[in-house]
Amino acid sequence: MSLYITTPIYYVNARPHLGHAYTTIVADTYSRFRRLCKEDVRFQTGTDEHGDKIAEAARAAGIPPKEYADRISKLFREAWPPLNIEPDTFIRTTDTHHIRTVQNILQKVHDQGDIYLGSYSGLYCRGCERFLTEKELVDGNCPDHQAAPQPISESNYFFRMSRYQEWLIDHINKNPDFITPERYKNEVLSFLSEPLEDLCISRPKSRLDWGISLPFDADFVTYVWFDALINYLSGIGYPDDEEFSHYWGVAEHIIAKDILKPHAIYWPTMLRAIGLAPFKRLHVHGYWNINEAKMSKSIGNVVRPETLCQDFGVDTVRYFLMREMSFGLDASFSDESIIARRNSDLANDLGNLFSRALTMINKFAKGTVPAPADPEPPDRELAAAATDMVASYTDHMKTFAFNRALQEVWSVISLANRYIVTSEPWVLAKAPAKTTRLQTVLYHLAETLRLIGLVLLPVMPETSMKMATALGMPPEAFKKHNLIDHGGWGLTQPGAKIELGASLFPRLDKENPQKPAAPQTQEKQTVSAVPPAAAGDAGLISFDDFKNLDLRVAEIKAAEKIDRSDRLLKLTVLAPEERTVVAGIAEYYQPQELVGRQVILVANLKPAKLMGVTSHGMILAARDENGRLTLSAFADSATPGSKVS
């Protein structure tokens, strides 16, 4: 099987930020995953350089648009290698071969009668670079740009998109995977339930001249979306290149929800008019917010990928983004959340498992992986869990459920940490009669870690390589490993020489991420002292830890929306004193339905400010695998403020 995977081509009116980095890391991770399945992959990204937005940004910078586009496009191209993103092609819409392709396509579609000259009066939003319908406006403004669109009346060329509406509905219904996750497919179908208007695909040069000239009328340039979408074809050499014949049939696009309509409606109908099969799948993800607020220049909370890499390291950034977002839903970024994942999932769970296993192999088996004897039930359980994990991980990765794929890996990491605790290698090491048992345990740890390192390759390529090297696999050999030939149990060669290296993920200091935190006691301990710390590693906490939590019954007295946030509600609760709590539940609950409910409150959480409101505690809710929230509740009425234990 082959794959052609693309990201959107990004506008060059702004520097790369977390949102661009996320989509491109998803594309890179997915490319690496499919290569790990022995598939042949082509991965394309690039920049979208024509249109109003860019012309305006260049004017503001006081330089010609092409010079401006060159400058920002370079920033995108250079943003990817430090994130270990390795596209095969970086396309620019100012590339001559792209311009030629767009003009050839326009001519063809025009000649067959699918483009006509008409006149148009409408409300034009410069930010969206399109005409908006009355229905789309909120209080007379474009909802995305909070500005009133301008009334414009002019002659323009139109693409007969309406001609393909029925075909598109039919195609979406017959191909359930065409647009995923399903909520976006439903959104598109609901949009298509109304008659589709033809698409205005030109702009008069008198108004905008930064674009591709229409081949059949030099007074107009091409509408930026008609130009940009064609990058997916020009990048693989449409119409004559072999690459095009090889890859077009396996094209999958990744986008965020903001550009669903151009990709799910304009693009397939354009392809139909060109006489090409539609792309295979469109993967649509949600938005990253920052501390629950929309990321925007005006709020001043734009997160830059280079700063993240400096502060946290590239693999922590990649892991966090893939683990934290449920593909399709919005997610929130904060320094606290990335540090928490780094310290718990990476330093504590994976990092400790790895260093303890290697230290024990070093100390108890002279630094070489020993041969296993007959496995006992706990060994079999670990081996079965590791190989089952490879299968379920693969299923989740295929469907873009990256967070769930990683959860599967982390269950095995927890199990392996528990296996160390229960099999007590440090005790076995003291009894010469137990040497074979010790060797079997150490082998099972090494082999489990090999499989963990292998499946982590798409998400954390550097860590995966470090793990392989430490486990005695030469990098050149490991680079050729794949899930088909190497995803089964038992491929670690007894006798492999391990290499003890630096810790994979030193813990980070919460106040000052660049500075590693003072090592926890367990990191200072020698192997013989491993057991007491092990409970923490296995994801277990002591009763004393639990007692530190002050959980209470809270009764909601009032609830209201917080301005500028789609997710947050401000709640006034009694627990038993009155306090304000901010909860990220606005997408699931209306304020009025909350009054009178009793929920569980974490009452001794440090106060935190969210969108200007200080929250004194947190209410508990369950989030299911589809991201749906359900509030905690009591079966019978309780007294507000009662302790929950």
- HEC string of 85-101 equals CCCCEEEECCCHHHHHH
Nearest approach in angstroms of CB 355 to ligand MSP is 34
Given the residues 98, 110, 125, 444, select the one marked as catalytic. Answer: 125
| 11 in contact with ligand MSP (CB under 6 A) | yes
Cα–Cα distances in angstroms (integers) from residue 279 to residues 6, 254, 263, 265, 476, in the given order: 11, 11, 10, 12, 35
By the rule CB under 6 A, 260 interacts with ligand MSP: no
188: left (phi over 0), alpha (psi -120 to 50) or beta: alpha
Is residue 320 within the footprint of ligand MSP (CB under 6 A)?
no
Q: If we measure between CA atoms, which residue out of 63, 76, 81 comes closest to residue 14?
A: 76
- Using CB under 6 A, pick the residue from 75, 259, 274, 638 that binds ligand MSP: 259
Tell me: does residue 101 bind ligand MSP (CB under 6 A): no
Q: How many CB atoms lie within 10 A of CB 121?
A: 10
The correct pick among 3, 23, 158, 461 for binding ligand MSP (CB under 6 A) is 23
Handedness of CA 131, 136, 140, 142 (dihedral sign): negative
Is 430 marked active-site?
no
DSSP classification of residue 351? I
| Window contacting ligand MSP (CB under 6 A); options: 194-202, 207-215, 287-295, 448-456 | 287-295
Is 253 among the residues known to form the active site? no
Can you say whether the dihedral through the CA atoms of 440, 443, 445, 447 is positive or negative?
Answer: negative
Q: What is the residue-wise DSSP string for 578-620?
A: EEEEEES-TTT--GGGTTT-EEEEETTSPPEEETTEEE-SEE-
* Beta-strand pair 199-200/150-159: antiparallel
Should residue 8 be labelled a site residue for ligand MSP when binding is judged by CB under 6 A? yes
Q: Which one is catalytic: 50, 98, 142, 616?
A: 142
Comparing CB distances to ligand MSP, the nearer of 30 and 505 is 30
Site track for ligand MSP across 206-235, x = CB under 6 A: ----------------------xx-x----
Tell whether residue 492 is a contact of ligand MSP (CB under 6 A): no
Task: Give me the 173-212 binding string for ligand MSP, x by CB under 6 A, dash otherwise.
Answer: ----------------------------------------
By CB under 6 A, residue 19 contacts ligand MSP: yes
SS (H, E, C) 504-539: CCCCECCCCCCCECCCCHHHHCCHHHHHHHHHHHCC
- Binding status of residue 90 toward ligand MSP by CB under 6 A: no
Residues 256 and 328: their CA atoms lie apart, in Å, by: 8
How far is residue 95's CA from residue 308's CA, in Å, rounded to a whole number? 31
Count other Cβ atoms within 10 Å, centred on residue 354.
25
Active site residue 309: no
Interface with ligand MSP, residue 84, by CB under 6 A: no
Among 3, 4, 5, 20, binds ligand MSP (CB under 6 A): 20
Query: Which one is catalytic: 17, 50, 283, 396?
Result: 17
Residue 173 CB coordination number (10 Å): 11
Q: Which is nearer to ligand MSP, 20 or 185 (CB)?
A: 20
- Is 174 among the catalytic positions? no
In this complex, which beta carbon is closest to ligand MSP, that of residue 51 or of residue 461?
Answer: 51
Among residues 169, 192, 295, 602, the one that binds ligand MSP under rule CB under 6 A: 295
In the list 258, 306, 381, 462, the residue contacting ligand MSP (rule: CB under 6 A) is 258
* Long-range CB contacts for residues 637-641, cutoff 8 Å, separation at least 24: 637/598, 638/553, 638/598, 639/553, 639/576, 640/552, 640/553, 640/554, 640/555, 640/573, 640/574, 640/575, 640/576, 640/598, 641/552, 641/553, 641/554, 641/574, 641/575, 641/576, 641/577
Active site residue 486: no
- Closer CB to ligand MSP, 22 or 478, in the complex: 22
Catalytic residue status for 297:
yes
Q: Which parts of 504-523 interact with ligand MSP (CB under 6 A)? A: none
Contacts of 467 (CB under 8 A, 6+ apart): 354, 449, 450, 452, 453, 456, 504
Q: What is the CA radius of gyration of the chain?
A: 28
- Which span (107-115, 256-264, 297-305, 376-384) binds ligand MSP, by CB under 6 A? 256-264
The piece of 3-11, 149-157, 401-409, 440-448 that touches ligand MSP (CB under 6 A) is: 3-11
Coil/strand/helix, residue 574: strand
Asked if 145 is an active-site residue, the reply is yes
Contact pick of 22, 244, 327, 443 for ligand MSP (by CB under 6 A): 22
Of 6-14, 348-356, 362-370, 559-567, the segment contacting ligand MSP by CB under 6 A is: 6-14
Active site residue 17: yes
By beta carbon distance, the residue nearest ligand MSP is 19
Annotated catalytic residues are 17, 20, 125, 128, 142, 145, 294, 297
Residues at the contact surface with ligand MSP, assessed by CB under 6 A: 8-11, 19-20, 22-23, 48, 228-229, 231, 255-256, 258-259, 287-288, 295
